[in-house]
Amino acid sequence: MPDRLQVWLDDLHVADIERRRRNDVRLRLRYTDEALERWPRNTPLVSCSLPLSDRPAHALAFFTGLLPEGAALAALAARARTSVIDTFGLLDRYGRDIAGALVVSRDAPDEGRFDLERYDDAGLAEEVGGLDENPLGIHDDSELSLAGLQNKLLLVKDGTGWARPLHGRPSTHILKAEDRRYPGLAQAEADCLELARAAGLTFVDSHVHVFAGVPCLITERYDRTVAANGAVGRVHQEDLCQAVGVDGASNRGRTKYQRRAGGGPGLREAALLLDTYAEDTAEALGRLVSAVAFTVAIGNADAHAKNLSLLHDTATTIRLAPLYDTVPTVLWPNLTDEAAMSINGRFPLGQLTLADITDEAASWPFDHDAAERAARETIERVRTAAAGLGSERLASIVVSRCEALLAGRPAGG
């Protein structure tokens, strides 16, 4: 008999993931009878790449996408006494608080096991200071995972302050420690999240706090809800790599970049999914246009397919998730100016124009005039908000890029 883990969604056992033997790295997802009886076939229940079906499906790419990359993955594997390629074993150990609404476990989720360990300021500073050696702040009672390379902590915030989630207790916030190679990164990302809020492209709150001398960006999780009584709910989501069944961490993390050889999905794939599953296609594609315009306006060359996600509002519908990882890479001249995803068949961010953005949208296809209105409105909002930023250098660059785009010139002037 194959080894199985259960996949739970909103307290319903919707699927199992299976491997035939312990050293088999392949995974299959098999939907349960309860799921098959409740929803129509081809519903994107777990993922757009794993529509509801009577037949098992290869699911390694989606589930690998729930795990971190690089040193963080190696550290989690070492603590679990398994291999970095053992996705099944890693989810068995860390699958109870992951991105989205799924819970992966041997048995039914038990909220009675949930617990917290409070942080005082010194304790949180110590945890942040140890992230290089202990990515994600994993302890023996941690049952959590989060994708990405950057040093992070998953936190719970309640009326008494910050705490560490134990035994699969859903986290509410993500702390990202600043990469020492790029001083000012945390504040720059916080400033761009402020611009994204002004443009209507995100709603999450964020701020920068210094722990152990390390600036950290603390952001609300958009895939969590917090009720008046403090109960934390989960909202299902997936990134674009997962949604098309691509392992974004493969090829040493290059696959998530469309511009890299053998790279991953691009804007056309995102548009196709929204056209297929969004409740209001015109609104969904308009928001995608706005996200593209925002990326060009702030000079973000790292908007790859794992930094673009889809929210599953219902079992049958999706929409573009709030923007996150909004890094103005243009601030660091040593970083590439090549966009992570092609826009109108082009990659150099500084050479892109408003016409490139609207022509890209028209190729999905999307109404050209509607695309231009959405892009122009977003750029105007970003320009207005950028003028009020505390960072004069970032404000100057973003205002200049916006004015160039609105005048029909390349963003880089």
Count of other CB atoms within 10 angstroms of residue 246: 23
Nearest to 96 by CA among 187, 194, 167, 2: 167
Q: Is the dihedral of CA 10, 11, 17, 22 positive or negative?
A: positive
Catalytic hit among 302, 337, 356, 367: 302
C-beta of residue 88 within 8 angstroms of C-beta of residue 17: yes
C-beta of residue 172 within 8 angstroms of C-beta of residue 258: no
Helix 70-80 × helix 87-94 angle, to 10°: 80
- Give me the amino acid identity at 175: L
Count of other CB atoms within 10 angstroms of residue 233: 12
Q: Does 191 qualify as catalytic in the annotation?
A: no
- Strand stretches in 252-407, DSSP E: 309-311, 319-320, 338-343, 346-348
C-beta of residue 289 within 8 angstroms of C-beta of residue 371: yes
Catalytic residue list:
302
